[in-house]
């Protein structure tokens, strides 16, 4: 190991005698520092890769008759409201609105129950204007976690849905 050799200055006290110091410098801490910095840069450049979630938006078609017909028994409609509330119903012909939230016991349970009853479910997400971006990302996240095959669609809230919600809240 590198070391600093001090000259054997075993001279008598009081006598001015210049000690011959060796100029060797211990490089070990310098190398340690350099490797620490390397490791930092190696790791931090791989950390800056962002994560993302791929979403498929539905095609906008002018003619409602051209829209793909889906079997309504397999659908579940989620209406995202304000203050992290989710209203959902299964049967569009006779919608019974129910309320749930973003906790583990809430939306995830609802989607898992739907998946247990119907094999490949279709989730229709209708965010209202009062919901936040985080709500949308969280819902898409839950859909991706609970579905094996992803069938979903993000659409605008219709007038009927808005009326259902206001009727539900008005109770």
Partner 1 sequence: MPKVKIPRKNISLDMTAMCDMAFLLLTFFILTSNFKPQEPVAVDIPSSADTLQLPKDSMMVISLDKDGNIFFGLGNQNERQDLIRLVNEQLKLDLDDKEMKKFSNLETFGIPFSQMKTYLNKEGSLAEGQPGIPADSTNNELKKWIFYAKQVRDGMRISIRGDMKSSFKDTQKIIHTLQDLRLSKISFVTNLEGTPDIKL
Structure tokens at 115: 């998946």
- Separation between Cα atoms, residue 107 and residue 140, nearest integer Å: 11
Dihedral angle, C-alpha 37, 40, 45, 46, nearest 10 ° = 140
In this chain, which of 18, 23, 48, 62 binds partner 1, going by CB under 8 A? 48
Q: Minimum CB separation from partner 1 for residue 167, in Å?
A: 21
Q: Minimum CB separation from partner 1 for residue 154, in Å?
A: 7
53-112 residues in contact with partner 1 (CB under 8 A) are: 53-60, 80, 104, 108, 112
Q: Minimum CB separation from partner 1 for residue 24, in Å?
A: 7
Q: Minimum CB separation from partner 1 for residue 3, in Å?
A: 6
| Nearest CB to partner 1, comparing residues 74 and 115 | 115
Task: Return the DSSP state at 19.
Answer: -
- Separation between Cα atoms, residue 53 and residue 49, nearest integer Å: 13
β-strand partners of 89: 77
| 44 binding partner 1? (CB under 8 A) | yes
- Separation between Cα atoms, residue 163 and residue 22, nearest integer Å: 89
Dihedral angle, C-alpha 70, 74, 80, 84, nearest 10 ° = -160
Of the candidate spans 10-18, 33-41, 67-75, 83-91, the one that interacts with partner 1 by CB under 8 A turns out to be 33-41
Dihedral angle, C-alpha 70, 102, 127, 54, nearest 10 ° = -70
Q: Minimum CB separation from partner 1 for residue 159, in Å?
A: 16
Interacting residues toward partner 1 by CB under 8 A: 1-3, 24, 26-28, 30-31, 34-35, 37-38, 41-42, 44-45, 48-60, 80, 104, 108, 112, 115-116, 127-138, 140-141, 144-146, 154, 156
């Amino acid at each position: 190991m590198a070391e600093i050799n001090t000259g054997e200055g075993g001279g008598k006290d009081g006598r001015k005698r210049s000690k011959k110091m060796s100029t060797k410098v211990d490089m070990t801490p310098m190398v340690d520092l350099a490797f620490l910095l390397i490791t930092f840069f190696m790791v931090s450049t791989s950390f800056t890769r962002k994560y993302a979630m791929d979403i498929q938006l539905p095609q906008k078609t002018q003619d409602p008759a051209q829209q793909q017909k889906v079997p309504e028994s397999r659908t579940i409609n989620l209406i995202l409201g304000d203050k992290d509330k989710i209203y959902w119903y299964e049967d569009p012909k006779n919608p019974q609105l129910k309320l749930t939230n973003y906790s583990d016991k809430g939306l995830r349970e609802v989607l898992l129950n739907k998946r247990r009853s119907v094999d490949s479910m279709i989730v229709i997400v209708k965010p209202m204007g009062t919901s936040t971006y985080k709500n949308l990302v969280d819902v898409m996240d839950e859909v991706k976690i609970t579905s094996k095959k992803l069938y979903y669609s993000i659409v605008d809230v219709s007038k009927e849905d808005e009326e259902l919600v206001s009727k539900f809240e008005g109770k």
